[in-house]
Amino acid sequence: MVKRRPTIKDVARKAGLSLSTVSLALNNRGYVSSQTRERVRRIVDELAYHPTRAAKGLASRTSGNIGFILSDDHFSQAEPFYTRIFLGTEFEARNHNYYILLTTIRRQFKVGVSVPRFLLERNVDGVIIAGDVHENLISYIDSLGVPIVLVDYEMKRQRHSSVLIDNRGGATLAVRHLLDLGHRSIGFVGGDLKHPSINDRYHAYQQVLREHGLSAEGSLASVDERETTIDSGFAAAGKLFRAGANPTAIFAANDAMAIGCMRWAREAGRNVPVDLAVVGFDDIEMASHVEPALTTVRVFKEEMGKLAVQRIADIILSKTESITTTQVPVELIVRESTVGKNPAGQGNARHLPAVSSG
């Protein structure tokens, strides 16, 4: 026979107290005498009672949940960047006694059609949004009074705390690496420049080339791809060469597009890195397993998730939302796609520090 698990009602009954008083004592809230709190703790130990989320929420009026939202096209096996950020939130949430509720939404958000259920049920105390989502979703969450922290995205018109990548610093490391190797015709492939991260990487690429008196315009850049996938990288590389740019190196907005560029080079009979050096951004797991291994800018994705949870937990606890922006450090990881079979050079990292501002 399975022994019944003790409940908060059992604690209240044995203590001769109401459910609300027991809940207040368990949550260290409200006016409850020290003698009563001690009596409740003693009975909890005797009964081996473990408070559930529902019991803890009676007094605090909180759910103990944090929502994690991203668009469905960001959640894929081919580009698991945001998956690693989510894992970072999951691990850190345990330290704050929160659960993370994950959901994906369609790119075109419509109120009444694609609202996440945990928002409809008011079942989260705060929301972390990873990547770009429709602004209507953020406005809707604001209307509910639920605090928001953005990850790898920021909005100019609506101010929210954000955890960002040092995109400009990382792009600068990547382009300077190619310049140091002697490349003077360096192309760029990217997706939608409306995304702040891609926009920053592209403009940093342009700035570094201009500083060296090199062209950063026209046919050397392909920034009209709608997505940042392997297929779109393949297509973008083809466009560059069909346009007559003939770069000797390409800096791609992310690793998936960089891998697509290398695939195009292989099918076009070009050797990487002898005929075409390639640098990516993000350092997804696939980057070290493709042939040749991809030189890339490493982003500390789990750390971004960790920082996002710390920030949203602070906002929930303090009930005030002072706006902060944190830039997470990056590293340039040098592998075979730029230097060839050079074991001594592989894995070398150049590091940029984190920056935080209020």
For the entire predicted model, the pTM comes to 0.77
Helical spans, DSSP H, in 187-279: 196-211, 230-242, 255-267
Identify each DSSP E strand in the chain by its residue range: 65-71, 99-105, 126-130, 148-151, 161-165, 186-189, 221-222, 249-252, 277-282, 295-299, 325-328, 330-334, 348-351, 355-357
Domain boundaries, the chain: 8-60, 65-165+302-328, 167-300+331-352
Per-residue pLDDT of the chain (358 residues; tens, 9 = 90+): 446 778 888 888 998 988 778 877 876 666 678 888 888 889 888 888 876 655 555 555 678 899 999 887 766 655 578 999 999 999 999 888 899 999 988 777 777 677 888 998 889 999 999 988 888 889 899 999 999 999 999 887 668 999 999 999 999 999 999 999 999 999 999 988 888 899 999 999 999 999 999 977 666 888 877 788 999 999 999 999 998 888 999 999 999 999 999 999 999 999 999 999 999 999 999 999 999 999 999 999 999 999 999 999 999 888 777 889 999 999 999 999 999 875 444 445 554 444 344 4
Same fold, 8-60 and 167-300+331-352: no
Give the architecture (CATH level 2) of 8-60.
Orthogonal Bundle (1.10)
Q: Which CATH number fits domain 167-300+331-352: 3.20.20.140, 3.90.1150.10, 3.40.50.2300, 2.60.40.180?
A: 3.40.50.2300
Determine the CATH number of domain 65-165+302-328: 3.40.50.2300
